[in-house]
Amino acid sequence: KIFQDKINENKEVIKELQKEHDHLEAELAQVELTEDFRQEVRAMAAQVRDKLADATYENKRVVMDKLDLKAVFRYEEKLRWLDLTCNLSPEGLSYDLQQSRKLYFS
């Protein structure tokens, strides 16, 4: 009986989470980024990149935290890759580390 109650409780939680997921997905589908907005973001990113060139380690760390920057190193078929994501580019970017020595978000 206890297990069945827990199962039923979890089913309800899953149902509510699925409903919330569907709602959020519908909201996101309505958001459209214009090319002008993308250009603004790129220009702002270029300014930030220029300022970071002379920033202290701590200042760089704050920027990376605010951008929610994540980097994942992977080794695949004898190639080294760096996969980057941040809240400006959630779809991410992948870099072949054999080809790229200096990495920039585009």
pLDDT in tens, 55-75: 888 888 888 888 888 888 888
Three-class SS state of 28: helix
Query: What are the DSSP E strand ranges found in the chain?
Result: 70-76, 79-86, 89-96
Instruction: Answer yes or no: is pLDDT of 102 > 60.
Output: no
Three-class SS state of 72: strand
Phi, psi of 105 (to 5 degrees): -75, 140
Instruction: Answer yes or no: is pLDDT of 106 > 70.
Output: no
Tokens 């959630």 correspond to 90
Which two structure tokens, joined as six digits, stand for 92? Answer: 């991410």
Higher pLDDT: 47 or 31? It is: 47
Instruction: Answer yes or no: is pLDDT of 99 > 60.
Output: yes
pLDDT, residue 105, reads 46
Q: How far apart, in whole angstroms, are the C-alpha atoms of residue 46 and residue 96?
A: 22
Q: What average pLDDT does range 12-25 have in this prediction?
A: 84
What is this structure's pTM? Answer: 0.43
Tokens 């202290």 correspond to 56
Higher pLDDT: 21 or 89? It is: 21
pLDDT, residue 100, reads 53
Q: How far apart, in whole angstroms, are the C-alpha atoms of residue 39 and residue 32?
A: 14
**Which residue type is seen at 60?**
K
